[in-house]
């Protein structure tokens, strides 16, 4: 099978295209013929050697893919050859107390597909059957490939941990990113007032089209001051900060008393100074979020493509996969970048 892979941890420029054997599956696994995969910053951290585990080399990478079931193990009853599917990229042991209570993203062995195991940048991938979900015909492979990490992280942040309510005011950083676009869509399901930030003026109108009520270019305006202005000093019920070092301390200032502040991703770095008085003085709760559970995924998937629909920025051919990652790192995109196979 054809696959994009790397054999040294030197970033996206080390990606090559090569031939690999089609994986063998066991009785509880499914072989998926991948049609599209989407890019995540996680892929870059792994390929640059920044992920805190030893990556097996050569490595077929990427976590989020969609495709068609090519083969099922003999214990698999809920899928058959030819089903159109998306892969939930959170893998876990399946037998521990947390997995059995439906909290699989808190399992000790929880990890994204495409890190310790071969990922979806190939014509075929083998995955546990419990991670494979059917998609409706109305959802394209390109759109489906955008859902797993991006939408489950956004859903887990706002719905499960942030406990978003009708009419809440939510600050979402990086409104043009994959998670930014997903967070805006999910917040609008709850009729939230959405304030978002962008780093380029051309993204402002696109965020508004998605439903954002206020868009701040953080390079030109102080986002804390603008949040105060837009909320008449009331501040936000939920703040989602996936930017990290550059913004987190100021993000705390945007939460009202009792606000929930969500952190994940930290694309600008993870080391930051915070003022603890902001946290206890305002009764803030900080939630660290790492993806979400299969149960949440199954429920959320019902909302695609009518209530939620990924914003696909661009679709690259597998041969141009390096260009796709170059675009991701340029930040000059809106939504998700996809590679088709």
* Angstrom distance (rounded) from CA 219 to CA 108: 39
Q: Which residue, 105 or 263, has its beta carbon nearer to Zn ion?
A: 105
**Cα 296 vs. chain centroid, distance in angstroms?**
14
Stretch that binds Zn ion, among 18-26, 99-107, 122-130, 259-267 (CB under 5 A): 99-107
Q: How many residues bind Zn ion (CB under 5 A)?
A: 5
Q: Which residue, 15 or 107, has its beta carbon nearer to Zn ion?
A: 107
Q: Which residue, 107 or 187, has its beta carbon nearer to Zn ion?
A: 107
User: Residue 276 — φ and ψ, nearest 5°?
Assistant: -60, -25
- 117-156 residues near Zn ion, rule: CB under 5 A: none
Q: Which residue, 104 or 168, has its beta carbon nearer to Zn ion?
A: 104
Out of 96, 279, 284, 286, the only residue in the binding site for Zn ion (CB under 5 A) is: 96
CB of 128 to Zn ion, least distance (A): 12
Strand runs (DSSP E) across 20-119, as ranges? 29-38, 59-60, 64-72, 84-87, 90-91, 111-112
Stretch that binds Zn ion, among 13-21, 106-114, 118-126, 162-170 (CB under 5 A): 106-114
Return the closest-CA partner of residue 259 out of 276, 241, 282, 275: 282
The answer to whether 99 contacts Zn ion (rule: CB under 5 A) is: yes
The answer to whether 274 contacts Zn ion (rule: CB under 5 A) is: no
The answer to whether 103 contacts Zn ion (rule: CB under 5 A) is: no
Q: Is 208 exposed, middle or buried (0-12, 13-18, 19+ CB in 10 A)?
A: middle
Q: Which residue, 94 or 199, has its beta carbon nearer to Zn ion?
A: 94
Peptide bond into 305 cis (omega under 30): yes
Report which DSSP code applies to 122: B
The answer to whether 92 contacts Zn ion (rule: CB under 5 A) is: yes
CB of 287 to Zn ion, least distance (A): 21
The tokens describing 333, both together, are: 């995109």
* Angstrom distance (rounded) from CA 110 to CA 125: 19
The answer to whether 93 contacts Zn ion (rule: CB under 5 A) is: yes
Q: What residue ranges bind Zn ion (CB under 5 A)?
A: 92-93, 96, 99, 107
């Amino acid at each position: 099978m054809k696959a994009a892979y790397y054999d040294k941890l030197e970033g996206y420029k080390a990606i090559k295209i090569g031939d690999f054997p089609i994986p063998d599956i066991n009785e509880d696994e499914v072989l998926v013929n991948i049609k599209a995969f989407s890019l995540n910053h996680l892929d870059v951290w792994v390929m640059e050697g920044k992920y805190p585990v030893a990556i097996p080399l050569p490595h077929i990478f990427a976590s989020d893919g969609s495709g068609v079931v090519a083969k099922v193990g003999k214990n698999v009853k809920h899928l058959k050859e030819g089903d159109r599917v998306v892969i939930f990229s959170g893998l876990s042991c399946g037998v521990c107390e947390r997995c059995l209570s439906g909290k699989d993203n808190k399992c000790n062995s929880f990890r994204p597909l495409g890190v310790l195991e071969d990922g979806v940048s190939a014509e075929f991938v083998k995955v546990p059957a419990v991670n494979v979900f059917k998609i409706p015909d109305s959802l394209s492979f390109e759109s489906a490939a955008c859902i797993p990490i991006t939408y489950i992280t956004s859903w887990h942040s706002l719905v499960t941990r942030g406990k978003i309510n009708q009419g809440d005011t939510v600050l979402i950083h990086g409104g043009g990113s994959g998670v930014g676009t997903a967070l805006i869509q999910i917040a609008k399901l709850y009729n939230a007032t959405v304030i978002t930030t962008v780093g380029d003026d051309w993204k402002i109108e696109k965020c508004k089209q998605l439903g954002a009520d206020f868009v701040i270019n953080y390079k030109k305006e102080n986002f804390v001051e603008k949040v105060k202005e837009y909320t008449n000093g009331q501040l936000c019920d939920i703040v989602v900060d996936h930017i990290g070092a550059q913004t987190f301390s100021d993000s705390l200032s945007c939460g009202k008393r009792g606000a929930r502040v969500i952190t994940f991703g930290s694309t600008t770095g993870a080391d930051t100074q915070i003022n603890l008085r902001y946290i206890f003085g305002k009764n803030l709760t900080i939630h660290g979020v790492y993806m979400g559970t299969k149960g949440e995924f199954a429920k959320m998937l019902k909302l695609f493509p009518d209530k939620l629909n990924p914003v696909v920025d661009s679709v690259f051919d597998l041969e141009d996969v390096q260009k796709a990652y170059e675009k991701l790192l340029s930040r000059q995109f809106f939504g998700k970048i996809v590679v088709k196979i």
